[in-house]
Amino acid sequence: MVVMSKPVILTGLRANNDLHIGNYFGALLPLIDMAKTRADEFEINLFVPDLHSFTTPIEHSQLQAQIMHNLKLFVAAGLPLDNPNIRIYRQSYIPAHSELTWILDCFTGFGQMRRMTQFKEKTKTKERLDQAVVEAELYHKAMQTMGQASNYEELSAKQLELSQHMNAAIDLIGQIEDRQGTASVGLFNYPVLMAADILLYDAEYVPVGDDQTQHLEFARDIAERMNNKFGELFVVPKPVKQQHEFFGKDQGLRIKDLSDPSRKMSKSDETGKGIIFLGDTPEAASKKIMSATTDSVGVVHYDIEKQPGVANLLQIMALAEGGELSSVVDRFEGQTSYGDLKTAVAASLRELLSSFQAKLEQVNEAALLAKLQVDEAAMNEKANQTLLKVQKAVGLR
């Protein structure tokens, strides 16, 4: 019988690719810091959400190897294997995740899922909607000036302009429907699976990057809704702001893509050019930093809006050094050579990656597999207890 009375800290990292520094600094490290320093006060769960791996297409023949590799990355990042308060597991080895998801699905509004930012981003809905609005505005403008046409040619030119804008807007809306129509139902409702991942284990603290904030809020929302309807079923995760305070930050982290700092660094990006993977050689990582996109301002300032590339480099440097952002900013503020900044960032990352990769070589795979076996059995027991409570509440038992 597993008794979990300590507050639970939990996070998961998909294994559909190698992990990158955004995953590492945004989610893995905050959890591992807790595992190294406060494991006595908490239960700490770190898992591979393998069922989440193919919400977007992947190479399935590589998934098994990637899962094992990513588990080893957890150990190389400092996860202790010898503490029973720290659990590691693979989501699909605990069937309760899938079953709770189905139940929660039936209490989740279609509209709420459709509004999820990640669904809109991955189906490129927002860009197309913005373009359609521009076309509609141009249509409106052409309409207003139609009355100024003084002859037949001008009038028919206006008419052509009108129909072009109208058709473009209709085409864009059609594209949104096509993209959303061909996206998998899994991509659409994966926030529900993520909520099940969290609620099965009574997790209160969930370190995630900024891109997952909305999903965390959804987990709180569905937990509260189910509790209101059926009585106390779930522990509601702490509000996001409180989570950030707990992990010693004031907001979720969002490391940007190096070649396009308007986008987050994302492992679903096929080119890999603007991403630093934990498996990159220190030299390859250096090259990526040296060719990072900056701006034409020519002076180092920490300004996320106006100088997102430079701000991203300063942020990466602070994280790689393990120091305060403000002290890195003070060191470089006002300098006029981006080259010097990049050289310093590249050096700190080279150091981080070489020590990380040396630890990866040392990971004891047999110990890892043995721990997985023990933890997955224990986690099945815990997850089934929560599931049974829910099954009883909804009338299945």
Is 152 exposed, middle or buried (CB count within 10 Å of its CB: 0-12, 13-18, 19+)? exposed
CB of 338 to ligand TYM, least distance (A): 21
Mark 1-20 with x for binding to ligand TYM (rule: CB under 6 A) and - for no binding.
---------xxxxx------
Q: Note whether 206 binds ligand TYM by CB under 6 A.
A: yes
Minimum distance, C-beta of residue 83 to ligand TYM, in the bound complex (Å): 20
Does residue number 226 form part of the binding site for ligand TYM (CB under 6 A)?
Answer: no
**169 to 198, contacts with ligand TYM by CB under 6 A?**
194, 197-198
Please report where in the chains the tokens 């990866």 appear, as a residue: 360
User: Which residues in 92-121 contact ligand TYM (CB under 6 A)?
Assistant: none
- The nearer residue to ligand TYM, 169 or 345, going by C-beta atoms, is 345
Task: Check the CA dihedral 326-328-329-330 and report its sign.
Answer: positive
Q: How far apart are CA 82 and CA 156, in angstroms?
A: 79
| Least distance CB 142 / ligand TYM (angstroms) | 41
Residue 30 binds ligand TYM, judged by CB under 6 A: no
Number of Cα atoms under 13 Å in the Cβ half of residue 29: 19
Q: From CA 217, how far away is CA 240, in angstroms rounded?
A: 7
With residue 88 as reference, give the H or E element that holds it: strand 86-90
Long-range contacts of 388-397 (CB under 8 A, 24+ apart): 389/233, 390/100, 390/103, 390/226, 390/230, 390/233, 391/103, 393/226, 393/230, 393/231, 393/233, 394/103, 394/230
Cα–Cα distance, 198 to 104 (Å, whole number): 12
Q: Which stretch binds ligand TYM (CB under 6 A): 208-216, 289-297, 301-309, 356-364?
A: 208-216
**Bridge-partner residues for 205, per DSSP?**
9
- The residues near 365 (Cβ < 8 Å, ≥ 6 apart) are 68, 72
Of 49 and 308, nearer to ligand TYM (C-beta) is 49
Q: Which one, 132 or 353, has the nearer CB to ligand TYM? A: 353
Residue 216 CA, chain-centre distance (Å), reads 11
Binding track, positions 239-278, relative to ligand TYM; x by CB under 6 A: --------------xxx--------xxx------------
Which one of residues 8, 26, 236, 352 is an interface residue with ligand TYM (CB under 6 A)? 26
Q: Tell the smallest beta-carbon distance from residue 123 to ligand TYM (Å).
A: 16
Structure token pair of residue 166: 């109208």
Which CB atom, from 165 or from 256, has the smaller least distance to ligand TYM? 256
| 48 vs 390 by CB, closer to ligand TYM | 48
CB 170 to ligand TYM: min, Å = 34
- Select the residue interacting with ligand TYM from 211, 280, 375, 376 (CB under 6 A): 211
Binding mask 38-77 for ligand TYM (x = CB under 6 A): -----------x--x-------------------------
Please, which residues have CB within 8 angstroms of residue 123's CB and are 6 or more apart in sequence?
A: 176, 179, 180, 183, 187
Q: Tell me the backbone φ, ψ of residue 34, rounded to 5 degrees.
A: -65, -40
In the complex, minimum distance from the CB of residue 52 to ligand TYM, in angstroms, rounded to a whole number:
5
Binding site for ligand TYM (CB under 6 A): 10-14, 22-23, 26-27, 49, 52, 194, 197-198, 206, 208-209, 211-212, 253-255, 264-266
